């Protein structure tokens, strides 16, 4: 009996870890584009920024996991929070759709078949929710993570030993904060749902392991890009460094990264829509078809211009679902204490 409980807890912990990493390690991360935009272009200044990412990601993720009941309650009671979450998730999921399109190439028949399958899975995720996400992440995230590790090792072997510094270090801190806001605000609902499964200690451990894995991978991939600076301007920098059979594997990993993040974001979109509307057709059109349409702007353009912008919206969303309820709870405690004193 005890062994079964331990086994269940381990599987549940790994499943939750993969769900978090599957959201963060999307196509922008695996392709290197997101890392260039937020870190690599700052040269040596990117490393203090990654340390900041570790600290902020740990504390914000821990707060979201711990305040899962309040976060869920806030979303239920606030149409503003639901609408803001819908906008954030829609923009991010549009970039994932764009990444999928880039990976599929120019063969129209192949594109239509695969995209039809992707849209069908998106529909299933929007209907079945987090149980469906767990199965997808347990299948896809290990492959993506292993491929990313092999990519980094190969790039270390072929790169130069020098890393150039840059003159605008202050901006790296600003972009590090934006990066954390980007990767926590777009999955508030998902993280809150995950938090319901664990005790307070387990939530803290999950947040710590997630933050550690993310920051270590950020540091390694960032270094791999900095010692291969010729690709920093590419649309998908890491992919530009590989060709042949391994180039196909890298493309597959980026494709998987697109899908894992996309499905998590579709969950966020559809969950928000269900708080705003009960019509399943409208829910599907807004949460799936709308980001698919926006994706035709192109992957590079969305990551370059919309990601930093929507990070600001993400900060407002975190304030609305995390810090405002915390402030209200504090006021309620003070008020009840005063009544009790009287």
DSSP secondary structure letters along 250-304: HHHHHHHHHHHHHHHHHHHHHHHHHHH---HHHHHIIIIIHHHHHGGG-HHHIII
Q: What is the CATH number of the domain that holds 117?
A: 1.20.1740.10
| pLDDT(9) > 50 | yes
In this structure, what token pair is assigned to residue 82?
């639901």
Q: For residue 256, is pLDDT > 90?
A: no
Q: What are phi and psi of 243, to 5 degrees?
A: -145, 180
Dihedral sign (CA 179, 185, 190, 193): positive
Of the CA atoms within 13 Å of residue 227, those in its CB half-sphere come to 16
Angle at which helices 200-226 and 2-24 cross, to 10°: 40
**pLDDT tier at 2, thresholds 50, 70, 90:** very low
Count of structural domains within the chain? 1
Is a pLDDT exceeding 60 seen at residue 169?
yes
Residue 161 has what pLDDT?
60
d(CA 144, CA 126): 23
Residue 97, token pair as written in the block: 């759709």
Is the C-alpha dihedral spanning 128, 129, 131, 135 positive or negative? positive
Q: Tell me the C-alpha distance between 70 and 9, whole Å.
A: 24
CB-based contact 294:220 (threshold 8 Å): no
pLDDT at 283: 93
Kindly tell me the sign of the dihedral angle through the C-alpha atoms of 314, 63, 216, 197: negative
Query: 44 CB contacts (<8 Å, ≥6 apart)?
Result: 163, 164, 165, 166
Q: Which of 180, 200, 225, 219 is nearest to 24 (CA)?
A: 180
The SS3 of residue 161 is coil
For 329, the token pair is: 């709870």
Give the pLDDT band (50/70/90) at residue 49: very high
pLDDT for residue 21? 87
Phi and psi at residue 114, in whole multiples of 5°? -65, -40
- Model pLDDT, residue 160: 63
As a whole-number percent, the residues of the chain with pLDDT over 70 amount to: 88
Res. 165: pLDDT tops 70: no
CA angle 19/23/24 to nearest 5° reads 120
What is d(CA 44, CA 163) in angstroms, rounded to the nearest whole number?
A: 7
Taking residues 36-65, report their average pLDDT: 91
> What pTM was estimated for this model as a whole?
0.80
The confidence score (pLDDT) of residue 340 equals 45
Query: Whole-number mean pLDDT of the chain?
Result: 82
**Residue 329: predicted pLDDT:** 47
Could you tell me how many residues make up the chain?
342
Range of the domain at 211: 2-341
The residue among 154 and 55 whose pLDDT is bigger is 55
Q: How big, in percent rounded to 5, are the helix, strand and coil portions of the chain?
A: 90, 0, 10
pLDDT in tens, 120-150: 999 999 888 788 888 888 888 888 888 888 8
Closest of 234, 230, 251, 233 to residue 242, by C-alpha: 251
Handedness of CA 44, 48, 49, 51 (dihedral sign): positive
- Using CA of residue 236, residue 240, residue 244, residue 246, what is the dihedral sign? negative
Between 8 and 204, the higher pLDDT residue: 204
Predicted pLDDT of residue 327: 46
How far does CA 309 lie from the centroid of its chain? 16
Confidence of residue 213 (pLDDT cuts 50, 70, 90): very high
pLDDT digits (tens, 9 = 90+) for 290-338: 999 999 888 778 877 777 777 788 778 888 777 665 545 444 443 444 4
């Amino acid at each position: 009996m005890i062994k079964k409980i331990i086994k269940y807890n381990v599987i549940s912990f790994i499943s939750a870890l993969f769900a978090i990493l599957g959201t963060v390690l999307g196509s922008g991360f695996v392709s290197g584009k997101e890392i260039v935009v937020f870190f690599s272009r700052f040269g040596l200044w990117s490393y203090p920024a990654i340390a900041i990412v570790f600290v902020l990601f740990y504390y914000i993720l821990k707060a979201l996991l711990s305040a899962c009941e309040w976060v869920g309650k806030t979303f239920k009671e606030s149409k503003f929070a639901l609408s803001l979450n819908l906008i954030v998730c829609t923009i991010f999921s549009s970039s994932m759709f764009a990444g999928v399109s880039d990976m599929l190439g120019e063969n129209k028949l192949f594109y239509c078949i695969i995209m039809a399958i992707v849209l069908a899975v998106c529909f299933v995720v929007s209907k079945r929710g987090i149980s469906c996400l767990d199965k997808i992440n347990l299948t896809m995230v290990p492959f993506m993570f292993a491929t990313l590790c092999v990519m980094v090792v190969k790039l270390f072997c072929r790169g130069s030993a020098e890393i150039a510094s840059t003159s605008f270090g202050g901006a790296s801190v600003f972009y590090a904060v934006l990066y954390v806001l980007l990767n926590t605000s777009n999955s508030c609902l998902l993280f809150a749902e995950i938090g319901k499964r664990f005790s307070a200690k387990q939530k803290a451990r999950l947040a710590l392991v997630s933050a550690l894995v993310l920051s270590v991978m950020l540091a390694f991939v960032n270094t791999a890009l900095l010692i291969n600076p010729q690709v920093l301007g590419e649309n998908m920098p890491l992919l530009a460094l590989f060709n042949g059979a391994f180039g196909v594997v890298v493309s597959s990993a980026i494709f998987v990264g697109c899908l894992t993040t996309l499905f998590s974001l579709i969950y966020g979109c559809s969950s928000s829509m269900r708080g705003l509307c009960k019509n399943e057709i409208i829910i599907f059109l807004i949460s799936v078809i709308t980001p698919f349409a926006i994706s035709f702007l192109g992957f590079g353009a969305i990551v370059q211009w919309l990601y930093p912008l929507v990070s600001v919206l993400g900060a407002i969303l975190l304030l609305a679902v995390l810090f405002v309820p915390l402030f209200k709870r504090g006021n309620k405690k003070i008020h009840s204490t005063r009544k009790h004193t009287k």
